[in-house]
């Protein structure tokens, strides 16, 4: 274990620079690679179901599905622009939001079962087919992420669905039970029967990681580190493999 950070938080993520973002009710904390708190953002919109995307450390997304409001933060966790209200922008419901390339966004519309790519001005750039209809499944996705020119959407009951950056369906990864997507270095990480497994997205090989006190939905991985969220601390480990 590299570090044990004495924080009680709901969840955490690590960006590509090894900065750690910890989420607790009403707040997002940013800690540097040495575990030192460098900034803090407070907002009553940050509740239990809040989503945070740290794919771009210069543009961190904080989304409240209940309020349908998206906050964009800079590297110091200062608000970059006005809060986006998707309901006021004409969307009946948006359950998931993720960073996309060229300063764009992915949103998931659970009414029409579609992934929609939007520009920074909320102009529609592309839209998937009705995924539930196309795949003939009852779809209730819980997370979405774009990485390495692919978009991944997970439904714990069905598996992980892969799309290209235009929203075209490519394939299904038949691993069920994944609520939060953890993808790094071409590997999909997930908790199974007491251990963390990593599926290589190129050759489908699987490796096992032994991480102390790891459990479903309490860990995040980047190329260098693993963060495990516990009731009273965040444990940081060196990523292997």
Tens digits of per-residue pLDDT, 35-45? 999 999 999 99
How much is the pLDDT for 115? Answer: 98
Residues 174 and 238: their CA atoms lie apart, in Å, by 28
How much is the pLDDT for 241? Answer: 54
pTM of the model: 0.96
The residues, any chain, with a CB within 8 Å of residue 168's CB and separated by 6 or more, are: 128
Residues 92 and 94: their CA atoms lie apart, in Å, by 7
Sign of CA dihedral 44, 35, 33, 231: negative
Confirm if 214 and 228 have CB atoms less than 8 A apart.
Answer: yes
How much is the pLDDT for 105? Answer: 97
Low-confidence ranges of the chain (pLDDT < 70): 241
Level-2 CATH architecture, domain 3-235: 6 Propeller (2.120)
How much is the pLDDT for 217? Answer: 86
The gap between the terminal CA atoms of the chain, to the nearest Å, is 16
Which DSSP state fits 83?
P
Q: Are strands 3-5 and 11-14 parallel, antiparallel or unpaired?
A: unpaired
């Amino acid at each position: 274990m590299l570090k044990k950070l004495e924080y009680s938080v709901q969840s955490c993520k690590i960006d590509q620079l090894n900065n750690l973002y910890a989420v607790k009710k009403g707040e997002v904390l940013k800690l540097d690679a040495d575990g030192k708190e460098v900034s803090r953002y407070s907002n009553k919109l940050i509740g239990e179901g809040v989503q945070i995307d740290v794919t771009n450390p210069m543009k961190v997304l904080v989304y409240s599905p209940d309020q349908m409001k998206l906050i964009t933060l800079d590297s110091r966790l200062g608000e970059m622009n006005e809060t986006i209200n998707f309901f006021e922008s004409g969307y009946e419901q948006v359950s998931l939001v993720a960073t996309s390339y060229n300063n764009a966004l992915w949103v998931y519309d659970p009414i029409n079962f579609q992934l929609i790519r939007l520009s920074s001005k909320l102009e529609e750039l592309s839209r998937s087919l009705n995924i539930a209809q196309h795949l003939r499944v009852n779809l209730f996705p819980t997370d979405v992420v774009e990485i390495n020119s692919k978009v991944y959407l997970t439904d714990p009951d069905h598996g992980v669905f892969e799309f290209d950056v235009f929203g075209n369906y490519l394939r299904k990864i038949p691993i069920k039970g994944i609520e939060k997507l953890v993808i790094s270095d071409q590997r999909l990480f997930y908790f199974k029967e007491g251990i963390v497994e990593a599926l290589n997205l190129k050759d489908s090989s699987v490796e096992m990681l032994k991480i102390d006190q790891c459990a479903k939905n309490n860990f995040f991985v980047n190329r260098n580190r693993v963060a495990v969220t516990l009731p009273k601390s965040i444990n940081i480990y060196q990523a292997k493999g």
